[in-house]
Structure 1
């Protein structure tokens, strides 16, 4: 009886924690465990006034896309963790999700500095990603890890593009994106090392198509 109560209590507590994390991800109140990455030199950090209005608008659009990506990452990791069979995998997914929370908070902070708002469709992005993560998780740990690896590979490519597109003097955004890229690569390597399966080409292409829809919409809204 005691064991049954303990199990039920654990499930309820876990649900509350995960629901709180989901709500914070969508409404933009995610805690920041690591400080916002800063430009390498003080002169770079104080160069904000050199950005034109057009450059700020473009940077804001790109950082809004990154913010949406991190909202999706929270949904993916939460749903995949929910269906993970291995406790070790759950722990690794949770660790990655916590780092992604920092990314989410950093992007939100940068958007605020640029006088811009997150995507109005964040609840939709979160819901869709949660479904995708659940499908990957239900397919088994190896497929779930393969999904993580491919997602992070595409995110790395996407961030490489942003480092090329961001205004050359937007050092604050660049510092954030650069650290995000480093973390995403580490998450992808983790998934491969843990035995992630190679996904079929049609799934990879479908992921790219969905990503394009998301980025083109989030840039403006």
Structure 2
């Protein structure tokens, strides 16, 4: 069955299956090698391990949200080529999801207990953005990824100096997210109104501060 023959109900069922796997299933298999492979893993203090674990949990939540956003947008995207870009971006974010979850476990931490909530909210936002039109959907992607890059730069300043493994993962994620933003703009993404950008920043702060602890 090709994508052209899939009904909305078919795609909804597929998205539900994807959601269950993302939130409750094991970490997905990454298509690329983990950037942390081969990096030194010196002994970190208890405080350093806790800080790195919390920061990586925030980034894992970000990848849960990214999966949901892209899947929601793919569901409501109007042009097949835009839907394809969203689905491809979601597949690439799988690598980030796998890398961050692996690092969290190595540091002795846990993923956020609120992941189902993060996924549901982000999926709804993605579906709404897609329903508004492809140019706004792509613009939403571009702005989201721009803010993610800024967020990753902030975490790279906070991560303990000795934690080369976490740093390598965050650097690769930053490069990938920047590329996603560029692709979205080049594909016709519209610049979002300033109030929408500020609202997105406010929501991001709530998510990051909550995920740091829970």
* Alignment TM-score > 0.5, same fold: yes
Please name the residue that 2:78 is paired with: 85
Please name the residue that 1:63 is paired with: 56
For the pair 1:47 / 2:41, whether they are aligned, the reply is: yes
- After TM superposition, the structure 1 stretch with the greater mean CA deviation from structure 2, 96-105 or 17-26, is 17-26
Structure 1 gap segments, 5+ residues each: none
Contact 1:77–1:93 under 8 Å retained in 2: yes
Structure 2 distance, partners of 1:35, 1:17, is 27
Structure 2 distance, partners of 1:35, 1:13, is 33
Please name the residue that 1:24 is paired with: 21
After TM superposition, the score normalised by the length of structure 1 is 0.90
RMSD: 1.8
Structure 2 distance, partners of 1:61, 1:22, is 23
After TM superposition, the score normalised by the length of structure 2 is 0.93
Structure 2 distance, partners of 1:26, 1:69, is 12
- Report deviation, 1:13: 5.4
In the TM superposition, what whole-angstrom CA distance separates every residue of 1:144-175 from its partner, at most 9, and x where no partner exists? 00000000000000000011100011011011
Structure 2 distance, partners of 1:167, 1:34, is 25
Structure 2 gap segments, 5+ residues each: none
Contact 1:77–1:94 under 8 Å retained in 2: yes
SS at match of 1:219: helix
Contact 1:28–1:105 under 8 Å retained in 2: no
For the pair 1:160 / 2:153, whether they are aligned, the reply is: yes
Please name the residue that 1:128 is paired with: 121
Aligned length: 211
Please name the residue that 1:193 is paired with: 186
- Report deviation, 1:108: 0.5
